């Protein structure tokens, strides 16, 4: 969770929730809800904390939203049967600490004078507090602490008439990162913010259209990949077919480079590139830039696997599975307190001791955030008898928080923001630590060096260069409080 700031004072964890998410939409299939549930399964890595589906059956909207995973909540035929209709949208949500409450779980739904509208959002708005404050001053009553609700109120207040025009009017007033899917009585709508920070793709299965955060969901459904939704594009699907609108002022495309490094599923295609291949190329570049003599290359599972393969192929050092991961445990970040997070790393990973004893290891991971995972894993390798432990990271040091939808702690908690590489190596307990360079990363992902005048991606978590203004941060230093209601339900 990213804590935005607000002058009303510190209210603790739940002042304002920001989270990583996945969105999915189906138009024109009798089993829209079942297909959406399958799609959300494929996006589960983007959010495991809560999920929801809203359908429209020609007469009524139907909604089921709950805390927990897609399997927990949409695994039974009985639940799916309560979501009839040929149009549907869904959402998975992931935040890190504090309690999660149902009123923040998406898709959000509202009755407008033009009818109902459901909306699901991946990304973070960076002026949500400022907009919300002015709406509250004008008498708007907010139900949740989600930034997405700001869009709902802006749509309600718009003086335009067709729903798409109202959405355009609303979105022109917000800043930040958003990939949205929305459902009205007639339309499935998909939107990507002008910088295209978060992903959104279009798929097709006969006459059925699909919108999804990632393309891996299409394979699950047997659907075909059509294309990425363009930055700043609105896709409107209704009985007349598919329409594309580009109503926003053109902005330079700044897709999130961290989707390639860590967040997306490796079997997804993003902006024309297979994520797995990109990660392998990053690993190969890392091996060229940061070689070290060793007996084996070991990935920190699962996110470090493709980069470690690339490193091993390039260096000629054997790739080995030296850490076994329990698949029955969620991501480490999901645990709210530090103490549990520390324990969690041990539950999640175990050393393959027979392999490691007496060996010189290269551990490859995608990133170091707080340093919890690496510290524990290195300790585990030493306890298992490793002779040398070298760590190689397939991204530059993460020394800035993300405000666009990737969950990162505050800068104070980021190991790389507080220490240089030598200090980090000491803290983590490795014999050597090295990160891929910016240019190396860009060469691997984009085939060319980073263009410092106009970077090809959003890389703010590594550079502090934020492509979209952080209005709430600039205007309101201090933690935010958006509701007096305790975050419990
Ligand atoms: P830490 O233990 O805090 O250093 O976190 C680093 C580990 O968390 C790495 O193994 C990453 O694969 C993973 N990671 C990196 N960024 C995130 C994120 N935004 N959410 C969840 N896990 C992450």
The pLDDT tens digits of the residues spanning 237-295 come to 999 999 999 999 999 999 999 999 999 999 999 999 999 999 999 999 999 999 999 99
H or E element that contains 109: strand 108-112
Task: Determine, yes or no, domain membership for 234.
Answer: yes
Q: Whose CA is nearest to atom 13 of ligand 1?
A: 367
- Residues 202, 280, single domain; the answer is no
Within-domain flag for 180: yes
Are residues 20 and 405 in contact, defined by beta-carbon separation less than 8 angstroms? yes
| Strands, E assignment, 285-379 | 296-299, 323-325, 349-351, 360-365
Rounded to whole angstroms, the Cα distance separating 92 from 312 reads 34
Give the pairing type, strands 269-270 and 208-212. Answer: unpaired
Residue 288's CATH number: 3.40.50.2020
Burial of 453 (0-12, 13-18, 19+ CB in 10 A): exposed
What phi and psi, each to the nearest 5 degrees, are found at residue 242?
-110, 135
Q: Which helix (H) or strand (E) holds 116?
A: strand 115-122
pLDDT band at residue 349 under the 50/70/90 scheme: confident
Residues 173 and 247 in one domain: yes
> Would 199 be classed as within a structural domain?
yes
Residues 282, 207 share a domain: no
The span from the CA of 389 to the CA of 379, in Å, is 10
Helices marked H in 91-183 — which ranges? 128-137, 148-157, 163-171
Range of the domain at 323: 274-453
| pLDDT value at 66 more than 80 | yes
- Vertex 168: Cα angle to 402 and 158 (nearest 5): 110
Instruction: Please tell me if the CB atom of residue 342 comes closer than 6 angstroms to any atom of ligand 1.
Output: no
pLDDT in tens, 379-389: 999 999 999 99
- Structural domains of the chain, count: 2
Q: Is the distance from CB of 123 to CB of 197 less than 8 angstroms?
A: yes
What is the number of the ligand 1 atom nearest to the C-alpha of 407?
A: 19
Residue 444 domain-assigned (yes or no): yes
Residue 8 confidence (pLDDT) above 50: no
Looking at per-residue pLDDT, the higher value among 17 and 222 belongs to 222
What pLDDT is stored for residue 317 in this prediction? 98
End-of-domain residue from the set 194, 224, 254: 254
* Same domain, yes or no: 150 and 282: no
Is pLDDT of 484 > 60?
Answer: no
Separation between Cα atoms, residue 71 and residue 89, nearest integer Å: 17
Q: Is 402 a catalytic residue?
A: no
- pLDDT above 50: residue 314: yes
The reported pLDDT for the residue numbered 176 is 97
**Residues 200, 166 share a domain:** yes
Mean pLDDT over the full length of the chain: 91
Closest CA to 18 of 31, 5, 29, 4: 4
Q: Has residue 485 been placed in a domain?
A: no
pLDDT category, 329, cuts 50, 70, 90? low
Q: In this model, does residue 451 exceed pLDDT 70?
A: yes
C-alpha torsion sign, points 407, 172, 160, 184: negative
Return the beta strands (E) in 123-272 as ranges: 179-183, 188-192, 201-205, 208-212, 224-228, 234-238, 241-245, 255-256, 269-270
Residue 81 contacts residue 57 (beta carbons within 8 Å): no
Last residue of a domain, one of 254, 286, 317: 254
Answer yes or no: are the C-beta atoms of 210 and 26 closer than 8 Å: yes
pTM beyond 0.85: the answer is: yes
373 ligand 1 Cβ < 6 A: yes
Q: Note whether residue 35 is domain-resident.
A: yes
pLDDT band at 337 (very low <50, low <70, confident <90, very high): low
**With bands split at pLDDT 50, 70 and 90, how would you rate the model's confidence at 338?**
low
Residues 158 and 280 in one domain: no
| 361 and 403 Cβ atoms separated by less than 8 Å | no
Per residue in 79-117, pLDDT (tens digit) is 999 999 999 999 999 853 334 678 889 999 999 989 999
The CA-based angle 334-41-206, given to 5 degrees, is 150
Q: Which of 21, 256, 402, 461 is catalytic?
A: 21
- Ligand 1 mean position, distance from CA 413 (Å): 12
Give the distance (Å) from ligand 1 centre to CA of residue 309. Answer: 19
| Residue 175: CATH number of its domain | 3.60.20.10
- Does any domain span residue 141? yes
Atom of ligand 1 lying closest to residue 406 CA: 19
Q: Is-contact 283 252, C-beta < 8 A? A: no
Pocket flag, ligand 1, residue 370 (CB < 6 Å) = yes
Q: Mark whether 219 and 310 lie in a shared domain.
A: no
Instruction: Kindly state whether residues 160 and 306 are assigned to the same domain.
Output: no
Query: Do the bridges between strand 457-458 and strand 255-256 make them parallel or antiparallel, or are there none, so unpaired?
Result: parallel
């Amino acid at each position: 969770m990213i804590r935005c700031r607000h002058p009303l004072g510190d209210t603790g964890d739940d002042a304002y929730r920001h989270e990583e998410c996945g969105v999915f939409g189906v138009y024109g299939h009798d089993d829209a809800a079942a297909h959406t549930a399958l799609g959300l399964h494929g996006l589960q890595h983007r959010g495991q904390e809560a999920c929801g589906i809203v359908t429209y059956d020609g007469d009524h909207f139907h909604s089921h939203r709950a805390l927990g995973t897609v399997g927990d909540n949409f695994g039974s035929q009985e639940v799916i049967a309560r979501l009839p209709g040929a149009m549907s949208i869904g959402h998975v949500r992931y935040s890190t600490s504090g309690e999660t409450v149902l009123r923040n779980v998406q898709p959000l739904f509202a009755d407008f004078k033009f009818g109902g509208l459901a909306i699901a959002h991946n990304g973070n708005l960076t002026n949500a507090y400022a907009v919300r404050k002015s709406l509250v001053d004008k008498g708007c009553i907010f139900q949740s602490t989600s930034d997405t609700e700001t869009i709902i109120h802006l749509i309600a207040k718009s003086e335009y008439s067709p729903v798409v025009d109202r959405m355009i009017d609303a979105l022109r007033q917000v800043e930040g990162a958003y990939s949205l899917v929305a459902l009205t009585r007639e339309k499935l709508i998909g939107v990507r913010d002008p910088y295209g920070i978060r992903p959104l793709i279009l798929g097709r299965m006969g006459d059925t259209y699909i919108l999804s955060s990632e393309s891996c969901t299409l394979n699950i459904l047997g659907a075909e990949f059509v294309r990425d939704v363009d930055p700043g594009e609105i896709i409107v699907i209704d009985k007349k077919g598919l329409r594309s609108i580009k109503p926003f002022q053109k902005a330079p495309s700044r897709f999130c480079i961290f989707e390639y490094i860590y967040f997306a599923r490796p079997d997804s295609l993003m902006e024309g590139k297979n994520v797995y291949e990109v990660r392998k190329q990053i690993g190969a570049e890392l091996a060229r830039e940061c070689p070290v003599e060793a007996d084996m290359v070991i990935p920190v599972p699962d996110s470090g696997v493709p980069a470690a393969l690339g490193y091993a192929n390039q260096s000629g050092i054997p790739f080995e599975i030296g850490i076994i991961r329990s698949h029955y445990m969620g991501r480490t970040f999901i645990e709210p307190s530090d103490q549990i997070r520390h324990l969690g790393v041990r539950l999640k990973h175990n050393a393959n001791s027979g392999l490691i004893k007496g060996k010189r290891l290269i551990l490859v991971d995608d990133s170091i955030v707080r340093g919890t995972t690496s510290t524990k894993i290195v300790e585990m390798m030493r306890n298992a008898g490793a002779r040398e432990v070298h760590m190689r990271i397939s991204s530059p040091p993460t020394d800035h928080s993300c405000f666009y939808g990737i969950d990162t702690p505050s800068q104070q908690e980021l190991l790389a923001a507080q220490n240089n590489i030598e200090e980090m190596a000491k803290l983590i307990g490795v014999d050597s630590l090295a990160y891929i360079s910016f240019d190396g990363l860009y060469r691997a992902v984009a085939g060319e060096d980073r263009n410092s005048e106009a970077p090809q991606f959003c890389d703010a978590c590594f550079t502090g260069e934020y492509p979209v203004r952080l209005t709430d941060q600039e205007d309101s230093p201090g933690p935010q409080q958006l509701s007096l209601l305790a975050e419990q339900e």
